[in-house]
Every structure is written in structure tokens, then in C-alpha cells.
Amino acid sequence: MHLLLAALELVTVHMIDGRVVQINPAEITSMVWPHEASSNKVMDDDVNCVISFTDGKFLSVAETCAEVQVLISSKRNTP
């Protein structure tokens, strides 16, 4: 019998209250940056990126979306 193992590459991000969360990049559907020029803000000042997932849930994080993208890319490029 052959056993196929899939490596799960989690990325560590931080919620705006400081808690550490590990997320699966394969489950990310979109990332939204806050719109700084808008006077009608829908995000708290501490939120730098909102990450949406395939299950319909979302996570507000302290990292910028660009920082999250770098974290994801570094995981993909790790042998």
C-alpha cells in the first residue's frame, strides 16, 4: 500500500489584538487593502489587510496584504 502525504504549508499572521494565527494559503480567495483616501472607512485603523477564505470566513490582520503575499511566496519557494 502506498501512502501519499500532502505537505500543508501554513503561514503565520497576527490578528489586530496580537494573537498569532496560522492560515492555509490554499484556502485564501481574496485579500483587501484598506482604502486610505476614503472618509467612509469600514476597517479599523489597526487592520492592514482583510483575508477572505473559501469557507466564507474572513480574518483582519495587522500585516499588510503585501506582507502576506511575501509570506505566501516564501513558503511556495521553500524546497
Domain that holds residue 29: 15-76
Measured between alpha carbons, how far is residue 2 from residues 5, 8, 44, 54 in Å?
10, 19, 49, 30
Indicate yes or no: pTM above 0.85: no
Q: Which amino acid is at 2?
A: H
Spatial CB neighbours of 75, under 8 Å, sequence gap ≥ 6? 9, 11, 25
Report yes or no on 32 lying in a domain.
yes
CA atoms within 13 A on the CB side of 24: 9
Q: Please check the confidence at residue 75 and state whether its pLDDT lies above 60.
A: yes
Residue 30 lies in a domain: yes
Per-residue pLDDT tens over the stretch 23-58: 999 999 999 987 765 555 666 778 999 999 999 999
Task: Answer whether residue 4 is part of any domain.
Answer: no
10, part of any domain: no
Total structural domains within the chain: 1
53: closest CA among 30, 36, 79?
30
Residue 38 lies in a domain: yes
Mean of all residue pLDDT scores within the chain? 84
Q: Is residue 59 part of a domain?
A: yes
